[in-house]
Amino acid sequence: MTQTDIQIAQAATLNKIQDIALKVGLTDEQIEPYGHYKAKLTMDALKSLETKEDGKLILVTAINPTPAGEGKSTVTIGLADALSRLGKQTMIALREPSLGPTMGIKGGAAGGGHAQVVPMEDINLHFTGDMHAITTANNALSAFIDNHLHHGNELEIDTRRILWKRVVDLNDRSLRHVNVGLGGPMQGVPREDGFDITVASEIMAILCLAKDLKDLKNRLANILIGYTAKKKPIFVRDLEVEGALTLLLKEALKPNLVQTLEHTPAIVHGGPFANIAHGCNSILATQTALKLADYTVTEAGFGADLGAEKFLDIKVPQLGKAPNAIVVVATIRALKMHGGIPLKALNDENPVAVAEGFANLKKHIFNMKAYGIPVVVAINAFVSDTEAEIDIVKEYCEAIHVPVALTEVWEKGAAGGFLLAEKVITAIEAEETHSFTPLYDVAELSVPEKINKIVKNIYGGRQANFTKKALNQIKTIEENGWEKLPICMAKTQYSLSDDPHSLGAPTGFDVTIRELVPKLGAGFIVALTGDVMTMPGLPKYPAALKMDVGENGEAIGLF
Amino acid sequence: MTQTDIQIAQAATLNKIQDIALKVGLTDEQIEPYGHYKAKLTMDALKSLETKEDGKLILVTAINPTPAGEGKSTVTIGLADALSRLGKQTMIALREPSLGPTMGIKGGAAGGGHAQVVPMEDINLHFTGDMHAITTANNALSAFIDNHLHHGNELEIDTRRILWKRVVDLNDRSLRHVNVGLGGPMQGVPREDGFDITVASEIMAILCLAKDLKDLKNRLANILIGYTAKKKPIFVRDLEVEGALTLLLKEALKPNLVQTLEHTPAIVHGGPFANIAHGCNSILATQTALKLADYTVTEAGFGADLGAEKFLDIKVPQLGKAPNAIVVVATIRALKMHGGIPLKALNDENPVAVAEGFANLKKHIFNMKAYGIPVVVAINAFVSDTEAEIDIVKEYCEAIHVPVALTEVWEKGAAGGFLLAEKVITAIEAEETHSFTPLYDVAELSVPEKINKIVKNIYGGRQANFTKKALNQIKTIEENGWEKLPICMAKTQYSLSDDPHSLGAPTGFDVTIRELVPKLGAGFIVALTGDVMTMPGLPKYPAALKMDVGENGEAIGLF
């Protein structure tokens, strides 16, 4: 019988975190242990690395996924384990999972099978408390705002124009729309509010983009919390609480060190939403891994049209380092879906549908290559795949001169990733002279121009259309001088277009920009297409129903 | 210039937590470090202690306090440091502070001056994440309840009769009364709700009374979350989520080890409200300290009428061990207040007022003695005290044959507590034969009889009166067979009566019981007198305004 992820994880023998740290040259004094198998790196340790040279960066992304996901994290981990076993000093930089989906549907998110980061149950539960610190800072700001309203509202904040929402790290649909401040004059000022899930908080995005404590504080100070009735913007700095918020976040800013099942050091830190935020682990995590290892493997959320685009256009300029190679993960199942096969028939052999669906993969490959970065395709193996189907993908990739490798890391760990690792090394070594070309000039182009660039070049669409609301918001953005920021697109992950049902590589479509939200602390402008879910709900029978604690205190029901 | 608490704490040299653990015989494998100066004890470590004999238990309580507090925690820490220095193997068991008041008014709560537990800034901020785990478990339960309503409400929970509220660990008055589930049929079921501060969560009380993981799960299963329209009670076990809640709390249940400024090992774990809950640190903390040390010093919240009464009538039966001595902390300032002097004149010398106010201290002394436990009075020194005022207290204590000691631990650390330590040791050794007498028989007396016993014997009142609502609730409690539980009184801490302005030792008063709330997971019935604040608000200028992070990442603005 196949073992579940948690069974594999709990059966593993972990190395002490001090030994993992030592593998990349970190001493006991440079880490702060959280139990025996997790640690935070000290800010002093990070500072001591500043002058070191960066290693190679490998970005793992994917085609537009099926609802089950294509296994990006699993491939990231398996690839890193394979690189390690091939003698390369390797580290992983990954996002940390949110509790909400864990209790709801997913039951856990730290890779899968024999390619996992561990201790899996800690990472999936409270880990080192980063999510809770972000929740607390986010909600402290809400409390400060409402307290300001209650004590006379000197700043004249318009209660109808407050942008800042509360958060919980849970799937809780009943908190999407709430009224607060009810109960009379001693209980605050009544107003409409709502809760997002913690990973959707701008503070999460800020934590993931901050270079150090000072930068963190600056970014917090710049958060736009709302407007007065006369449309004057109000910032956190007007409330003078950026110091308190920084204090609440000072431990959360330190990157977390764990290990894979095969003892490759992994930094798991930060986890912003990939729709209304940029969807990658923290700058500090990636930067630290780059300094400590020769090869750093990291991932971006959703498909390459969202996650990788934002990685390259939002994160890379902050990081000051572009990927040396991009791995695009595809599965036979997803290719069949893009070839027109319904979800329930994806397990049936159908090489023709795979060939049809290749258009989606091809578009992502060309998109990534346009940034000037070599691409390697990873076919992440599933039990239902057939040789004929896999051969089609290999053949099509070879036809467009893109290296491709079948990965079986879920089943075999590092051993299932050697082929991919070798192709990635070859790609990096062959392309020493490649140079990164950003998609757009962030300072020269207007907001609509930048959005159109993404819609045309990345999505393959005709143009972006703007609602009246969006046009008004662009006016506000330009009047306030906020237009020189990159764009963070919030779009369905299931299609290259803004229609989740439009699969393959659609063309001739327009994308409607419904709303624009300036995230001035994070430093980007969110462009919303369609309805974007920032607070998931629980299913009728949530994963929580199967959760428990065993006789020896071990977690049951994470999977 | 006098140093602030945080200056003293940050200047201190701490011992590695492994060395502190070793002091009481705990090995590296029996603790899980959180950084270098905090740790959790493993459940295996606790199990290995089960057969060890208990040491002596010293409970620190106080007279009815001034709004500034009488320094119970400071005396607890200073007394323990003094006992250590006198060669006694000593441990401390204390509550962990809540973030809400820290950001609001207090700026910190881990003792004061030269009698502090450290690392003070960690303890006051996120510590080891216990509060966040409780917040998460509490709100996960709320999400499960609302999700049940959304998906058809099979249990027929009456949305108007849901007792379970959400929590945040912040002072946030705007969340006291909220409407949730707004926005249409896809956004949950609209209903009234409210947020308490985390320390007021029944889950906090449960964590503090649970003996082990199994007991924790049982108690969680027994939480009463509300009623159907036909008044059928609905429990957590009906939702089948006690396993998931236990999973969220499994790390939080492990006691936290830290140290005092003088390196006495201290377990700081759990911190339930002292009004709607029982107000003491966890059973596991106290029990572990009792096993590891010859002397354990612990405290109870508020004055002896609330905190000590609940310690003795709620906690002791669960702990299976009564205190060997009780220290009642008094300050000259508070005695003057009880002698009729207004707050702003408390710094002026007034021995007559001290003599007048002694009635309050005397009542508490007699109350504690009635439990069969020796009492020692600690006069916690303040700069404004005069010799004449202190002499009055000493004279009056001697007249009723109660040992008394001036403590100067805030200023001098252990050295300021030797006298108190010696008197406590003498009291314990002299009273080897004392036997604990509970105030009431929890199984034999009815709910009104138990409440009357507390009102008459402890408060010195005439009787308890019950509102119509309370009488109806007693009926519900009796019909459901929940009446064999102890009573948890929620009353003002400022007076022995239910009127905060009635100082000294009032008599002839009645106490009105407004409402009764069965907390079936915690295992007590809360009796509410007057309005009890379960969610504080922030002042116009909260402590947060002065908070910041320094150049080297150190906390600024905790005090």
- A179 Cβ under 8 Å from any chain B Cβ: yes
Mode of pairing for the β-strands spanning B115-118 and B256-260: antiparallel
Mean pLDDT of the region B534-548? 94
Question: Per the annotation, does B121 bind a ligand?
Answer: no
Query: Which amino acid does the sequence have at B396?
Result: Y
Looking at residue A30, what DSSP letter applies? Answer: G
Average pLDDT over chain A, rounded to an integer: 95
Residues A265 and A335 in one domain: yes
Q: Which residues of B221-241 are buried (b: 16+ CB within 10 A; e: fewer)?
A: bbbbbbbeeeeebbbbeebeb
Chain A residues near residue B544 by CB distance under 8 angstroms: 140, 144, 241, 243-244
Residues A422 and A474 in one domain: no
pLDDT at A103 over 60: yes
Most distant CA atoms of chain A, gap in Å = 71
Chain A residues near residue B217 by CB distance under 8 angstroms: 548-549
Interface contact flag, B246 A217, Cβ < 8 Å: no
- A442 Cβ under 8 Å from any chain B Cβ: no
Residues A276 and A182 in one domain: no
> Cα–Cα distances in Å, from B403 out to A362, B81, B330, B406?
86, 20, 13, 11
For B124, which residue in chain A has the nearest alpha carbon? A248
pLDDT at A533: 87
Contact A175, A535 (CB under 8 A): yes
Residues A320 and A404 in one domain: yes
Chain B residues near residue A150 by CB distance under 8 angstroms: 173-174, 537
Asked whether residue A549 is domain-assigned, the answer is no
- B250 Cβ under 8 Å from any chain A Cβ: yes
How long is chain B?
Answer: 559
Mean pLDDT of the region A4-26? 93
Most A CBs within 10 Å, among B175, B182, B236, B237, to test the A interface? B175
A-contacting residues in B 278-317 (Cβ below 8 Å): none
Which among A35, A170, A553 is the nearest to B140, CB-wise? A170
How many domains, in total, are found in chain A?
A: 3
pLDDT at A432: 65
- Residues of A with a catalytic annotation lie at 72, 74, 95, 106, 274, 302, 382, 410
CATH number at residue B510: 3.10.410.10
Angstroms from B434 CA to nearest CA on chain A:
39
pLDDT at A433 over 70: no
Which of A109-123, B49-63, B276-290, B307-321 has the weakest average pLDDT? A109-123
Of the pLDDT bands very low, low, confident and very high (cuts 50, 70, 90), residue B432 is low
Radius of gyration of chain A (CA): 23
pLDDT at A531: 82
For B253, which residue in chain A has the nearest alpha carbon? A553
Residues A300 and A415 in one domain: yes
Spatial separation of the C-alpha atoms in residues B316 and A375, rounded to whole Å: 67
Residues A423 and A367 in one domain: yes
Query: Which tokens belong to B146?
Result: 């609302």
Give, in degrees to the nearest 5, the angle at Cα A351 between A350 and A356: 100
- B27 Cβ under 8 Å from any chain A Cβ: no
Question: The domain containing residue A152 runs over which residues?
Answer: 131-247
Interface contact flag, B251 A126, Cβ < 8 Å: yes
pLDDT at A532: 85
Which of B1-10, B201-210, B267-276, B465-474 has the weakest average pLDDT? B1-10
Angstroms from A555 CA to nearest CA on chain B:
6
pLDDT at B9: 87
Residues A410 and A497 in one domain: no
Contact A65, A346 (CB under 8 A): no
Which among B147, B246, B555 is the nearest to A548, CB-wise? B246
Asked whether residue A380 is domain-assigned, the answer is yes
Spatial separation of the C-alpha atoms in residues A323 and A299, rounded to whole Å: 11
Which of B337, B296, B352, B294 is closest to B319 using CA atoms? B296
CATH number at residue A15: 3.40.50.300
Residues A165 and A226 in one domain: yes
Of the pLDDT bands very low, low, confident and very high (cuts 50, 70, 90), residue A232 is very high
pLDDT at B433: 64
Spatial separation of the C-alpha atoms in residues B225 and B150, rounded to whole Å: 16
Spatial separation of the C-alpha atoms in residues B546 and B527, rounded to whole Å: 38
Of A405, A431, A457, the one marking the end of a domain is A431
pLDDT at B10: 87
Mean pLDDT of the region B40-58? 96
Interface contact flag, A173 B33, Cβ < 8 Å: no
Query: Which amino acid does the sequence have at B339?
Result: G
Interface confidence, given as ipTM, is 0.96
Of A247, A271, A289, the one marking the end of a domain is A247
Which among A244, A248, A250 is the nearest to B553, CB-wise? A250
Give residue-wise pLDDT tens across range B78-126. 999 999 999 999 999 999 999 988 888 865 678 899 999 999 999 999 9
pLDDT at A171: 96
Asked whether residue B25 is domain-assigned, the answer is yes
Give residue-wise pLDDT tens across range B196-207. 999 999 999 999
Question: Going along B331-462, which residue ranges are E strands?
Answer: 375-380, 404-407
Asked whether residue A421 is domain-assigned, the answer is yes
Residues A178 and A266 in one domain: no
Give residue-wise pLDDT tens across range A288-320. 999 999 999 999 989 999 999 999 999 999 999
Query: What is the Cβ-side half-sphere exposure of residue A411, based on CA atoms within 13 angstroms?
Result: 9
Which of A552-556, B98-102, B236-240 has the weakest average pLDDT? B98-102
- B126 Cβ under 8 Å from any chain A Cβ: yes
Question: Per the annotation, does B110 bind a ligand?
Answer: no
> Between B242-249 and B130-150, two packed helices, what is the crossing angle to 10 degrees?
160
CB pairs under 8 A between A and B: 228
Residues A408 and A269 in one domain: yes
Asked whether residue B537 is domain-assigned, the answer is no
For B126, which residue in chain A has the nearest alpha carbon? A133
Contact A371, A439 (CB under 8 A): yes
pLDDT at A3: 83
Mean pLDDT of the region A515-538? 94
Interface contact flag, B146 A177, Cβ < 8 Å: no
Interface contact flag, B143 A170, Cβ < 8 Å: yes
Of A194, A229, A247, the one marking the end of a domain is A247
Asked whether residue B536 is domain-assigned, the answer is no
Interface contact flag, B549 A183, Cβ < 8 Å: no
Angstroms from A332 CA to nearest CA on chain B:
34
pLDDT at B108: 61
Interface contact flag, A140 B36, Cβ < 8 Å: no
pTM of the full structure? 0.97
B-contacting residues in A 37-56 (Cβ below 8 Å): 40, 43
Mean pLDDT of the region B46-62? 96
Of the pLDDT bands very low, low, confident and very high (cuts 50, 70, 90), residue B194 is very high
Chain B residues near residue A240 by CB distance under 8 angstroms: 545
Chain A residues near residue B171 by CB distance under 8 angstroms: 143
Query: Which tokens belong to A458?
Result: 């990345």
Interface contact flag, A213 B553, Cβ < 8 Å: yes
Which of B314, B242, B244 is closest to B272 using CA atoms? B314
- A16 Cβ under 8 Å from any chain B Cβ: no
Give residue-wise pLDDT tens across range A466-485. 999 999 999 999 999 999 99
Of the pLDDT bands very low, low, confident and very high (cuts 50, 70, 90), residue B400 is very high
Give residue-wise pLDDT tens across range A362-409. 999 999 999 999 999 999 999 999 999 999 999 999 999 999 999 999
> Between A130-150 and A202-209, two packed helices, what is the crossing angle to 10 degrees?
130
Spatial separation of the C-alpha atoms in residues B124 and A74, rounded to whole Å: 38
Asked whether residue A437 is domain-assigned, the answer is no
> Between B351-369 and B387-399, two packed helices, what is the crossing angle to 10 degrees?
30
Most B CBs within 10 Å, among A247, A256, A541, A546, to test the B interface? A247
For B121, which residue in chain A has the nearest alpha carbon? A247
Which among B33, B213, B547 is the nearest to A243, CB-wise? B547
Spatial separation of the C-alpha atoms in residues A537 and A173, rounded to whole Å: 5
CATH number at residue B213: 3.30.1510.10
Residues A174 and A228 in one domain: yes
Which of A535, A461, A451 is closest to A499 using CA atoms? A461
Asked whether residue B547 is domain-assigned, the answer is no
Chain A residues near residue B176 by CB distance under 8 angstroms: 182-183, 187-188
Question: Per the annotation, does B72 bind a ligand?
Answer: yes
pLDDT at B142: 98
Query: Which amino acid does the sequence have at B330?
Result: A
Looking at residue A413, what DSSP letter applies? Answer: G
Q: Is the dihedral of CA B469, B475, B479, B484 positive or negative?
A: positive
Give residue-wise pLDDT tens across range A109-160. 788 999 999 999 999 999 999 999 999 999 999 999 999 999 999 999 999 9
Most B CBs within 10 Å, among A10, A178, A559, to test the B interface? A178
pLDDT at A70: 85
Residues A135 and A113 in one domain: no
Give residue-wise pLDDT tens across range B338-389. 999 999 999 999 999 999 999 999 999 999 999 999 999 999 999 999 999 9
Mode of pairing for the β-strands spanning A224-228 and A157-162: antiparallel
Of the pLDDT bands very low, low, confident and very high (cuts 50, 70, 90), residue A513 is very high
Q: What percentage of chain B exceeds 70 in pLDDT?
A: 99
- Binding site of A for ATP, by residue number, is 66-73
Question: Per the annotation, does B66 bind a ligand?
Answer: yes
Chain B residues near residue A136 by CB distance under 8 angstroms: 99, 126, 132, 169-170
Q: What percentage of chain B exceeds 90 in pLDDT?
A: 91
Question: Per the annotation, does B246 bind a ligand?
Answer: no
